[in-house]
Structure formats: C-alpha cells, structure tokens
C-alpha cells in the first residue's frame, strides 16, 4: 500500500503543489509590487513549503487597489475632498490667507492635500503627553467633562485596571444620555471577551471590532489592522499618538523592559474635526451607519496659532500618504531630522532619503529601543544600522526601557506624531493616523524631548558595530529578508 501511494499518488500531489506554487508566484509578479516585496514572498514560498502558501493566502494579498473600505458616496468624505481641493487651489493662487499658512512648507502641505485630502487647519493648540500617567489623567479628565458625544478608537483596549476604569466612565456617560462609540481592532484587542462588549452595549455604548477574524474560518484580510489611536470628545478635544488602553502603558513599567516611553498629544481646535472625519469613516465601515449631523463638526474658536494636517493612510487610500509625507520632510530638511521609532524597517524610498539627507550634511539621528517586544522585528531593525552609520546617520539605543514613540521633528518647523511606526506595515498595510504640526515652538519642544531621550540612550559606533559576532549579523540579514512581510 505504501509503495502504491509513493509510486502512483504522491507524484500527483507533489506536481499539484508545484503548480499551485508556480501560479501564486506568477500572481505575485503580475501584481507589480516592489521587487523587494516580491522576492520576499517568493522566498517564503520556496523556503517554507505548505506553510508559505498558507501565509500568503492570509497575509500576502494586496487589497489597496480593491479598497477594503469603500468611501465613495460618503458625505463626510465628499466634504473632506471638497475642502482639500479648495485649499489646493488657494495654495496655488496664493489666496490661502493668514501669515500662519504663508510660513509653512507648502510643498509638504500640498503633497498631503493631494495624496490624503489632509485638510489644513489653523488656530490649534497641542499639549504633549510624554508618559502614561499624564496621558490617562488627561484622557479621564476630558472624558468626564463630555456633554454630547465621545468617540474612541484603539488598537488595544485591555480588560485590566485602566481598561475597566475607562469602561466605567464610558458606561456612566452613556447612561446619562451622552453618545458613546468605541472601535477596537479585533486582532490588537484579541483578548477581550464577549461579556466585556455585552456589558458596554447593555449600558448604551455602541462598540464594534474592526475587521473581525473568526477562527478557523480565517480571513485573508487579517493582515490589515486598524492601528489608529483616536479620541474625539464633543468635537472640541482630540487625542492621537502611540498609547493604547492598557495597564502597561499607564504604569510605565514592563517586566524585563523597564519603563514604557511613548508620546501622545491632546489637540484643541479645528484639527479635532479632522480626527473626527477619520473616526467617522471607520465607523461607517464597522456599523454601516453614516454620521453626518453637523453637531459632530462644531465650529471651534482659535485657541492658538498652530497649523495641523491630520493624515490618515491605509489599504483604503490611493497613496501611502504618511510615508510620502515623512519622505518629503526628510528630503527637504536643511538642518536636522530627529526620529524616534520602536521599529525601524523603512521602505526603500525612506531609507534612501535618510542616506541622502545625512550625506548632504543634514544632522540625522534615530533612536530605537535596545530591547523590543518583538524579537524578529528587532533583528530586522538592526540589519539597517550599518548602512545608516556608513551614510553618517547617528543611531542611538534607548536604555531606560521600551521606546514606543512614533515621532519625527525637523528644522524647528515640522513635528510629526501619531500611530505609524517607521516600517513597511505602518506605511503600507495598517490603518494609521498621524498629525503633521507646523509650528516652531512645538518643534522646539519636541526636539528638547528627543534630546532628553537621546541622553537616556547609548550611541552606536560603526567600528564596534562592524566588529560584532558573525552569528548576530547572519541572524539580522536573514530576518531582513522578511522585513516587508512583518
């Protein structure tokens, strides 16, 4: 029987498998992705027989062109596009009034208007929240002040001390007649159980999971996660940044890692309406309900003079807007570019931009954590260090704990903070949201914070880095082959 199987059936199985792999390889090539990503997937298919095929079905398909979230016909989206196109015209003919706008880097502003319909907002104020205590104290304070509606969106919402504290506030507000809506990512908040959601819904809270994944009926869209962290309260106050809802963010101390170092911002002003637009488009996707009542977009009086564009990107957009904005910021920098990121796996374009900037004499510095919550991504990040050092980029390893900030500051004029990491997943696959802030005092404050983090870091020197164990270098090089897939 075994001989019959080996001689008559097994060859057909192997031939069928070989044909299926060949078909998948052809499909990958025909998608016209970047050669790096194409080669990475071909290597996965060849090096992991069977498993590679399954991984491609679940994680490898490109949904950007088919648009996971269809925006066509949405009144909120139409309104944003109209405002963006109007501002593009005003920039072109010089009629976009105000000294605040006139001073801004119009190339970046116009780019983000074109690729993301990122409306330019003025009269904003920004408050930095550099640790979990400050972030959650500010969030809880503003939640308790809510009078009309609360909209929250988090990648991770944990059922722990801080998660339950926020939940109780939301339940109390909902019972008082205040509209409360919550979106959590189904993978990021995987540990949340049905009773947690039912408790919220019974209190009158509308809550949905984003792109639900049902095992064993796996979805090929599991690879596209909503990584945004957005809060909008009454249309007047908004939050965006790197913090999720969990004790490890609040307490700032993780076993074996040390402190959790992150950055979040509280926004007041018209930029809150831009955050609202991002939330409501995602809300339409999860609930099939469009919220277009003007009450969700109140008129905000100027509270300061900061100019902000909120940029949302993901597989629902035509362009990788956040990546393009970061690229343009780097290539137009004249004095310095300071970056803090937990994962450093840049696209080829951003990688080249960093090298060109450093080789051109721009002071380019990057802080990444020495310890990471993801071993493979840490190896991938380290694989880029030598070429960065050779180009003149300063690399620093954060020592006090796990650095989770997603920030960039350049030339005392542009500050970038949001949910997007400096990696392929944030640039191309995840749903992300980031604030581009054009304001000198804000940039100076962010630069000061960066330099404080740099003081808590250890600089990486090229001779010492080159002289490391060959085993470490091999592991890093091998991990880098999979960087576009992580």
* Active-site residue flag, 456: no
Q: Which residues pair with 129 in a beta bridge?
A: 264
Active-site residue, from 411, 423, 439, 453? 411
**Residue pointed to by tokens 């309260």:** 233
* Active-site residue flag, 227: yes
Active-site residue, from 404, 423, 439, 453? 404
Active-site residue, from 151, 229, 236, 250? 229
* Active-site residue flag, 396: no
Active-site residue, from 173, 227, 306, 396? 227
Start-to-end Cα distance in the chain? 43
* Active-site residue flag, 264: no
* Active-site residue flag, 411: yes
* Active-site residue flag, 234: yes
Active-site residue, from 185, 186, 234, 270? 234
Active site residues per annotation: 227, 229, 234, 404, 406, 411
């Amino acid at each position: 029987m075994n001989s019959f199987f080996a001689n008559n059936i097994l060859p057909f199985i192997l031939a069928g498998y070989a044909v299926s792999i060949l078909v998948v390889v052809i499909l990958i090539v025909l998608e016209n992705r970047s050669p790096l990503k194409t080669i990475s997937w071909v290597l996965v298919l060849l090096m992991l027989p069977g498993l590679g095929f399954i991984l491609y079905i679940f994680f490898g398909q490109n949904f950007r062109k088919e648009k996971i979230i269809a925006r066509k016909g949405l009144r909120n989206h139409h309104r944003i596009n109209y405002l963006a196109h109007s501002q593009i015209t005003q920039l072109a003919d010089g009629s976009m009034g105000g000294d605040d706008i006139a001073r801004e880097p119009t190339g970046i502003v116009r780019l983000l208007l074109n690729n993301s319909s990122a409306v330019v907002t003025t009269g904003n104020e920004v408050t930095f929240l550099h640790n979990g205590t400050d972030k959650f104290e500010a969030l809880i304070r503003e939640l308790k002040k809510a009078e009309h509606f609360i909209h929250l969106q988090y990648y991770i919402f944990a059922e722990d001390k801080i998660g339950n504290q926020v939940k109780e506030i939301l339940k109390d507000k909902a019972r008082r007649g205040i509209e409360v809506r919550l979106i959590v990512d189904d993978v990021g908040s995987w540990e949340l159980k049905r009773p947690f959601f039912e408790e919220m819904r019974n209190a009158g809270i509308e809550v949905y999971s984003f792109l639900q994944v049902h095992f064993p009926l796996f979805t090929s869209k599991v690879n596209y996660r909503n990584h945004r962290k957005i809060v909008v309260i009454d249309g007047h106050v908004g939050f965006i940044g790197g913090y999720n809802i969990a004790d490890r963010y609040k307490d700032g101390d993780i076993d074996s890692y040390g402190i959790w170092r992150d950055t979040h911002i509280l926004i007041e002003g018209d930029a809150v309406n831009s955050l609202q637009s991002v939330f409501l488009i995602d809300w339409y996707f999860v609930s099939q309900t469009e919220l277009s009542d003007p009450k969700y977009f109140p008129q905000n009086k100027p509270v300061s003079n900061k100019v902000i564009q909120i940029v949302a990107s993901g597989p629902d957009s035509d362009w990788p807007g956040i990546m393009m904005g970061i690229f343009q910021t780097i290539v137009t920098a004249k004095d310095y570019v300071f970056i803090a990121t937990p994962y450093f796996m840049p696209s080829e374009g951003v990688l080249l931009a960093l090298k060109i900037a450093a080789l051109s004499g721009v002071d380019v510095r990057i802080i990444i954590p020495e310890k990471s919550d993801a071993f493979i991504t840490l190896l991938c990040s380290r694989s880029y260090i030598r070429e960065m050092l050779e180009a003149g980029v300063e690399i620093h390893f954060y020592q006090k704990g796990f650095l989770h900030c997603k920030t960039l500051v350049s030339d005392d004029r542009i500050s970038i903070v949001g949910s997007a990491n400096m990696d392929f997943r944030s640039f191309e696959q995840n749903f992300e949201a980031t604030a581009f802030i054009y304001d000198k005092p804000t940039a100076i404050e962010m630069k000061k914070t960066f330099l404080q983090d740099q003081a808590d870091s250890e600089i990486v020197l090229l001779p010492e880095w080159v002289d490391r164990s060959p085993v470490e270098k091999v592991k890093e090089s091998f991990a880098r082959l999979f960087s576009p897939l992580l």
